[in-house]
């Protein structure tokens, strides 16, 4: 079975959904951000501050292509769909689930977040970023799951109800 790749904006719940899917399926879970931190020995904010976003994006592509394409669940970073190369790779190799969350809900969930360099960059219009990225999430998605107002367990039930997902 193809690995599941969870995509969606920051705060859409990819990591929590991956953990809950693990509880149900016992398939190994991976997280591209965590793999980047382990491989390059720097935190995500350190990579953005010391090397810049383009270098982070190169690391992210390297890591994406190193993930197992069979029998795993992989939570990805919210910007992974920005590069054509990554979208092509995801469409060719993954079973992609887009966790779609409204701007209202994302901004409530991340109100106190200090850990995400793009979220904390005052110069960036994050609502516009969500609008700009949405067509890319839709382009790669095999399944779209709206997460608005839903508990993680309900999202997981919805994912597992589709036999193509596991």
Q: Can you state the angle between helices 84-93 and 126-140, rounded to 10 degrees?
A: 40
Minimal distance, residue 57 CB to ligand S3P, in Å: 9
Q: Which residue's CB is nearer to ligand S3P, number 73 or number 161?
A: 73
Q: Which residue's CB is nearer to ligand S3P, number 48 or number 165?
A: 48
Q: Which residue's CB is nearer to ligand S3P, number 3 or number 32?
A: 32
Minimal distance, residue 133 CB to ligand S3P, in Å: 8
**Beta strands, E only, the chain:** 4-7, 29-31, 73-75, 95-100, 143-146
Q: Residue 138 and residue 39: Cα distance in Å, rounded?
A: 29
Tokens 């904010």 belong to residue: 45
Minimal distance, residue 163 CB to ligand S3P, in Å: 27
Beta-sheet pairing, 95-100 with 143-146? parallel
Question: Which residues bind to ligand S3P, rule: CB under 6 A?
Answer: 10, 14, 33, 44, 77-79, 116-118
Minimal distance, residue 26 CB to ligand S3P, in Å: 23
Binding-site entries for Mg(2+): 15
Q: Which residue's CB is nearer to ligand S3P, number 80 or number 156?
A: 80
**Length of the chain (residues):** 166
Binding-site entries for ATP: 11-16, 116
What distance, in Å, lies between the first and last C-alpha atoms of the chain?
7
Which DSSP helix (H) or strand (E) runs through 84?
helix 84-93
Binding-site entries: 11-16, 33, 57, 78, 116, 133
């Amino acid at each position: 079975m193809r690995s599941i790749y969870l995509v969606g904006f920051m705060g859409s719940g990819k990591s929590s959904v991956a953990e809950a899917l693990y509880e149900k399926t016992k398939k190994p879970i991976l997280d591209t951000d965590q793999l980047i931190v382990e491989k390059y020995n720097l935190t995500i904010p350190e990579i953005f501050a010391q090397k810049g976003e383009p270098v982070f994006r190169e690391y992210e592509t390297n890591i994406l292509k190193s993930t197992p394409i069979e029998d795993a669940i992989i939570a990805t970073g919210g910007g992974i769909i920005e590069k054509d190369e990554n979208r092509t790779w995801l469409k060719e190799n993954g079973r992609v689930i887009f966790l779609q969350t409204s701007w209202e809900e994302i901004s409530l969930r991340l109100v106190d977040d200090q850990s995400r360099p793009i979220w904390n960059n005052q110069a960036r219009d994050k609502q516009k970023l969500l609008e700009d990225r949405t067509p890319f999430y839709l382009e790669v998605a095999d399944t779209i799951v709206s997460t608005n107002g839903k508990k993680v367990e309900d999202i997981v039930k919805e994912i597992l109800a589709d036999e193509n997902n596991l």
